[in-house]
Structure 1
Amino acid sequence: MLVSIRVAAEELGVRPETLRRWESQGKIEAPERTPGGKRRYDLAKLRHLAPHKAPSERVTILYARVSTNGQRDDLVRQRALLETFSSANGWPYEVIEDVGSGLNYHKRGLKQLIAQICSGRVGRLVLSHKDRLLRFGSELVFSLCEHFGVEVVIINASENSTFEEDLASDVIEIVTVFSARLYGSRSHKNKQVMDRLREVAKEVSP
């Protein structure tokens, strides 16, 4: 049976780019091609890779995050989206929530998520957007998911932001982190500088 790269990846519990990498490394033979150049995989020849597939008895984890307590309403909406999406697909799930910067690698929820992935009990990770996991470094967690056979589902993966949007979001995130640290020094000058940086970042943000 010949299937698309998306279907083949879902069958094995990996991402499409993993299949492309395996092909370039010679781990799997080159698939057939349609007249338009699309890959078509023979599932029968990929069955030996079945251990990478996430078993159905493993749990689906929904991970939601906002940066501050002032964004609690967004956290509620984010969780509702994840739960509705997972319920529509018939996936029993557990929810992990975090409130903290996307630059913070020590958040309790993130640590819990990584521990569960490494324990082998997670079969699927569902996010609303890629940057809800981490602002930088999400690929490291995705690599862990690939290693432990965890399927990653990003609901709004097709909503690609522009370079300017990403840059503005990153600046705001960084300014927020440093503001918290500098405010502690009780320096009025520091506060003025950080407030101005935040204003500028928001001005260029769409």
Structure 2
Amino acid sequence: MFVTATQASSILGVSSCTLRRWHRNSKITAFGSPGVMMSPIFAKQKEGLKWQQQFLLTKCPQYELISDIGSGINFKRRGLQTIQEQASRGMVAEVVDNQ
């Protein structure tokens, strides 16, 4: 579920400063849309992401895991940049996406 920072503050009963501090300390992850809103993903949801990573490592143990959080393609994401860099060097034979 995606909510604005204002909605998250209200739901959690904390200030927007607290949300920013939690984000800085990796207690929550926030997705941003330029000039629109920030949508936090809480720590419990990180467990689901860890499960997906473990699943992929179980099914494809010979592969290197590179992960990013976000929607759509953002060429500034570190994981995508890593894949592009390795592919340009001929180091990538196959990419497995969990979506």
Structure index of larger Rg: 1
TM-score (norm: length of structure 2)? 0.49
Q: Give the number of the structure whose residues are more often helix, by fraction.
A: 1
